[in-house]
Amino acid sequence: MSDNRTIRGRGALRRLARAGAALAVLVGALAGATATSGVAQAATQGPCDVYAAGGTPCVAAHSTTRALYAGYGGRLYQVRRSSDQAVRDIGVLGTGGYADAAAQDSFCAGTSCVITVIYDQSGKGNHLTQAPGGGAAPGPDNLADATLAPTTLNGHRAYGVYVAKGTGYRNNHTTGIATGDQPEGMYAILDGTHYNGGCCFDYGNAETSSTDTGNGHMEAIYFGNIKVWGYGSGPGPWVMADLENGLFSGANTRYNANDPTVNHRYLTAMVKGAPNQWAIRAGDAQSGGLSTFYSGPRPNAAGYNPMHKEGAIILGIGGDNSNGAEGTFYEGVMTSGYPSEATENAVQANIVAAGYANSSATTGALRGTGSGKCLDVPNASATPGLQAQIYSCSGGANQTWTRTGDGRLTVDVGGTTLCLDAAGGATADGTKVVTWPCTGGANQQWRFNADGSVTGVQSGRCLDVAGAATADATPVQLWTCWGGGNQKWTLG
């Protein structure tokens, strides 16, 4: 999708011929739902095994959290640390298993890291790297902080790809990705609570030139609550399709009442397309099945039937490198051919069995998602009453916070344990957030919310970076919650 664009509004579908084949796919996926214990944690099937069994194999498979094939034991992603610019590939704990998050933690200890490559597990070499400049933004885009999206899968720690504004990944020279009007499918696992109204948080098929080349030159999953080109019911966010020069929630109208607001903490989002047919499906990645929000003909505006897909792959940006969106990506694939609903349902069963859940971390850096910087005790001083601030993450003790069972946030500086405290027990906007000896008071208790905000139990107000600034030493305060990135935090 592009910024500054106007709204514009053959063949039989490829389907599985026999119900027995669909049943085999589903049974196989369910059989593969249970991973073995021990170091390897090898699944008997991954989502790409399910797609292959359904006759629509993966041609791109990206994940920073787990292997997407039972037989995959290679690299998931690469990180680069800021201290010396060294890089390290992060793989799986064992064939078919989860990401080796401990390898990242060790490599990045005492410094910060960014994700430089998200490797393609399909064997086709469709890796995602830093997006170059394009028609909407000169670029190159930023790379994601490697620690801002901690998660767990069946209790195993991993990291997703946290896309802040200006962040994007791309591959303009792919192999096997659908072009023209060829059929394809795709899914992505996203954080349904992390989104905005910017253009455009996409994953899927886009232009190879990084520019807007016209209607129907894209086919990608979009997630967010922008309403410029199309929208669904409720306030958003919505899963829609970015087909270029239009975010479509349905057929030919801007509004599809059957495309609901969805904000599951872990969200399965699917888009697929074939000659004069496409569909949107989605569901909770932690439980249950999929719902179909649209399935029908292509838009009747010029350029969308037949399609003119070009076969590049994007993540976090629009086709012309529009990079004003936010979101979090954990895994996703693209297929050759139009997957059946039975296949997709089996994939969803596999995803649910992967056991996505919030990170169980209780000690670590408290990072501001809007700034990428850490909550910091100035000068590592144990003097009571110092206003907390954000500062470039160093891994120091003065940036290491512990979330206690009774809701306190404690920090050890100079051998002294202090609590994060709303100064004087005040509750008004602008109240300083300071470090103070622990008293057990309600002004020292903090609630971590599903949307990433941290609120004071006493005040109900958000832990806020003053003025939404991002510079080192910007003070932290209480402020009425409004959903901004300067009020979103991750601990880990």
Q: Is residue 227 scored above 50 in pLDDT?
A: yes
Do 189 and 263 lie in a common domain?
yes
pLDDT for 21: 40
Do 179 and 262 lie in a common domain?
yes
pLDDT (tens digit, 9 = 90+) per residue, 240-255?
Answer: 999 999 999 998 778 9
Mean pLDDT, range 153-164, rounded to an integer: 92
Do 69 and 92 lie in a common domain?
yes
User: How is the chain split among helix, strand and coil, in percent rounded to 5?
Assistant: 10, 35, 55
Nearest alpha carbon to residue 79 among 179, 23, 148: 148
Take residue 468 and report the two structure tokens written for it.
Answer: 């939404």
Do 210 and 240 lie in a common domain?
yes
Residue 393 lies in a domain: yes
Do 188 and 64 lie in a common domain?
yes
Residue 8 lies in a domain: no
pLDDT (tens digit, 9 = 90+) per residue, 466-491?
Answer: 999 999 999 999 999 999 999 999 88
pLDDT for 405: 58
pLDDT for 176: 98
Do 278 and 376 lie in a common domain?
no
Q: Is residue 38 scored above 70 in pLDDT?
A: no
Do 316 and 386 lie in a common domain?
no
**SS3 of 426, please?**
coil
DSSP single-letter state for residue 98? B
Q: Are 207 and 217 in contact (CB under 8 A)?
A: yes
Q: State what percent of residues in the chain have pLDDT above 70.
A: 90
What band does 406 get if pLDDT is binned at 50, 70 and 90?
low
Bridging pattern class, strands 58-63 and 327-335? antiparallel
Mean pLDDT, range 359-386, rounded to an integer: 89
Residue 12 lies in a domain: no
Do 238 and 254 lie in a common domain?
yes
pLDDT for 43: 67
Do 373 and 469 lie in a common domain?
yes
Helices (H), 32-100: 47-53
Mean pLDDT rounded to a whole number for the chain = 89
Among 6-10, 262-266, 311-315, which range has the highest average pLDDT? 311-315
The residues carrying an active-site annotation are 244, 320
Do 245 and 327 lie in a common domain?
yes
| CA–CA separation, 197 and 164 (whole Å) | 13
- Give residue 422's Cα distance to chain centre: 32
Range of the domain at 290: 20-358
pLDDT (tens digit, 9 = 90+) per residue, 363-376?
Answer: 889 999 899 999 99
Q: Is residue 98 scored above 70 in pLDDT?
A: yes
Do 248 and 215 lie in a common domain?
yes
Mean pLDDT, range 427-431, rounded to an integer: 96
Mean pLDDT, range 75-97, rounded to an integer: 97
